[in-house]
Amino acid sequence: MILGILNEHDQRVAIVPQLIKKFQKLGFEIWIEKGAGETAFYSDADYESAEGKVTSKSEILANADVLVTYHPPSDDDLRALKSQALVVSTFAPYIDDSIIEHLKQFDIIPFSLDMIPRTTIAQSMDVLSSMASVAGYRAVLEAANYLPRYFPMLITAAGSIKPCSVVVLGAGVAGLQAIATAKRLGAVVEASDPRAAAREEILSLGGKFIEVAGANDDIGAGGYAVEQSKEFLQKQAELVQERAAKADIIITTAQVRGRKAPVLLPTSTVEKMKKGSVIVDLAASTGGNCELTEDGKVISHNGVTIIGDSNLAAKMPTDSSFLFSNNIHNYLKIMVKDGQIDLDWENEIIAKSCLKSKNKGEN
Ligand code: NAD
């Protein structure tokens, strides 16, 4: 079986050389497009010495039994694949389900990594978690770079420094990693999340929980948050505004799956913040938690720096590529038996992440 990896417009690469042996044990040869690992600091020579085959994109598309990418391949690439190739990517059908219809024109079997259920058994395949965790860590470092202050409390001969104050809005995977990272750097951290489970997690990391009464928490939503009432969002906005006025850094990660991100920092709140303070908005690509966020840009409003970036995991490509590769290995392990692709449609992970009919080959 041939597993193809392309050179994507992303700093990450889908499979790193040190994992090739593990894929070989499953029965895969790794074919990788020239230069695909360069931006993640894995050279073509590294792949070759790990027994990967470095080749052209056209050769990969014509021969791959499985193609793995971060971003959905182009229509031309999908058309160039051989019949019934498995395409493993992040198609985000929960944002726009027309992709499912669109993919029907290609003779492939598409799998969407963002549809893997968030269950304990699937944790080792969960690329959303791996990437969110890297992004949460990196968000704190990005903020630290722009902040004109220290993070920790310092007592020096030249005077005492107060610890920096960080507010985290949304305590899912990214938010919890941001809390842990900011705490490690010495900040005082407060966080808000409507899910009841988030409270204990915030406290266990040494953060303070911003208590907002009346949250709508649906355990049937697969662990995801559900949309909150106007009253909740209003109460939350008042409490956040109080905290924002004193904060040095606000990191926002609040998402409601398949919906526009809730606006938690309206312009009026930003205008109450201290000059020199920093907002990092990880929800930028779904509309942003801050009203002023511009996706993919760093702007300044009234002395407040606002960083809009939902792709921060790509800024740590060596480790994020390694984690992604491990997730893919664990995922493909359940699709292979005795060195052959063998899709068990009774397996919830395979069935829920496949974007085609449950019967292989059927449209
Ligand atoms: P996400 O990216 O969908 O959302 C980020 C956070 O925003 C969530 O914690 C959500 O509750 C929060 N949020 C939504 N509205 C908000 C508001 N108005 N104010 C503040 N916060 C708001 O979340 P995620 O990080 O992908 O995690 C989703 C869920 O999946 C979590 O419950 C997490 O614990 C769970 N999870 C389970 C597994 C697993 O068992 N395999 C792995 C990872 C995550």
pLDDT at 300 over 90: yes
320-329 pLDDT, tens per residue? 999 999 999 9
Asked whether residue 264 is assigned to any structural domain, the reply reads: yes
Q: Is 146 a catalytic residue?
A: no
19-32 pLDDT, tens per residue? 999 999 999 999 99
pLDDT at 357: 63
Please name the residue whose Cα sits nearest to atom 9 of ligand 1.
172
Residue 299 is part of which domain span? Answer: 132-315
- Average pLDDT score over residue span 335-350: 96
CA pair distance 222, 249, nearest whole angstrom: 30
CA pair distance 281, 250, nearest whole angstrom: 8
pLDDT at 226 over 90: no
pLDDT at 361: 46
Check whether residue 203 and residue 288 sit in a common domain.
Answer: yes
Check whether residue 166 and residue 298 sit in a common domain.
Answer: yes
Check whether residue 345 and residue 286 sit in a common domain.
Answer: no
Check whether residue 97 and residue 220 sit in a common domain.
Answer: no
- How many Cβ atoms sit within 10 Å of the Cβ of residue 221? 14
Asked whether residue 176 is assigned to any structural domain, the reply reads: yes
Contact in structure between 209 and 189 (CB atoms under 8 Å): no
Contact in structure between 72 and 89 (CB atoms under 8 Å): yes
Q: Is 224 a catalytic residue?
A: yes
Asked whether residue 362 is assigned to any structural domain, the reply reads: no
Give how many domains the chain has, as a whole number: 2
User: Which value, to the nearest 10 degrees, does the dihedral of the CA atoms of residues 103, 105, 106, 110 take?
Assistant: 20
- Average pLDDT score over residue span 76-101: 96
Q: Is 126 a catalytic residue?
A: yes
Asked whether residue 32 is assigned to any structural domain, the reply reads: yes
Q: Give bridge partners of residue 87 from the DSSP assignment.
A: 67, 110
Tokens standing for residue 86: 């498995």
Check whether residue 96 and residue 176 sit in a common domain.
Answer: no
Is residue 39 very low, low, confident or very high in pLDDT (cuts 50, 70, 90)?
very high
pLDDT at 196 over 90: no
Asked whether residue 277 is assigned to any structural domain, the reply reads: yes
Taking the centre of ligand 1 as the mean of its atom positions, its distance from the CA of residue 341, in whole angstroms, is 33
Check whether residue 200 and residue 284 sit in a common domain.
Answer: yes
pLDDT at 216: 83
Q: Best of 193, 218, 240 to mutate for ligand 1, by most ligand atoms within 8 A of CB?
A: 193
pLDDT at 182 over 50: yes
Q: Are strands 66-68 and 85-89 parallel, antiparallel or unpaired?
A: parallel
Q: What is the DSSP letter of 359?
A: S
Q: What is the mean pLDDT of the chain?
A: 95
> Which residues have any ligand 1 atom within 6 Å of their CB?
118-120, 122-123, 126, 128-129, 132, 169-175, 192-195, 198, 223-225, 228, 253-257, 262, 264
Contact in structure between 23 and 329 (CB atoms under 8 Å): yes
CA pair distance 84, 109, nearest whole angstrom: 6
Instruction: Tell me which residue of 342, 336, 324, 349 sits closest to 26, measured CA to CA.
Output: 336
Check whether residue 207 and residue 120 sit in a common domain.
Answer: no
Asked whether residue 361 is assigned to any structural domain, the reply reads: no
pLDDT at 358 over 70: no
pLDDT at 362 over 70: no
Check whether residue 257 and residue 329 sit in a common domain.
Answer: no
239-273 pLDDT, tens per residue? 999 999 999 999 999 999 989 999 999 999 999 99
Please name the residue whose Cα sits nearest to atom 30 of ligand 1.
223
Asked whether residue 218 is assigned to any structural domain, the reply reads: yes
Check whether residue 61 and residue 40 sit in a common domain.
Answer: yes
225 backbone dihedrals φ, ψ, rounded to 5°: -75, 150
Check whether residue 104 and residue 139 sit in a common domain.
Answer: no
pLDDT at 350: 97
Check whether residue 121 and residue 194 sit in a common domain.
Answer: no
Q: Say which CATH number the domain at 344 has.
A: 3.40.50.720
CA pair distance 214, 62, nearest whole angstrom: 55
Query: What number of residues does the chain have?
Result: 363
Sign of CA dihedral 124, 194, 167, 163: negative
Tokens standing for residue 352: 């829920």
Gyration radius from the chain CA atoms? 22
- Average pLDDT score over residue span 340-363: 82
Residue 300 amino acid letter: S
Tokens standing for residue 322: 């390694």
pLDDT at 181 over 90: yes
Check whether residue 91 and residue 121 sit in a common domain.
Answer: yes
Taking the centre of ligand 1 as the mean of its atom positions, its distance from the CA of residue 222, in whole angstroms, is 10
281, containing H or E segment: strand 278-281
Asked whether residue 358 is assigned to any structural domain, the reply reads: no
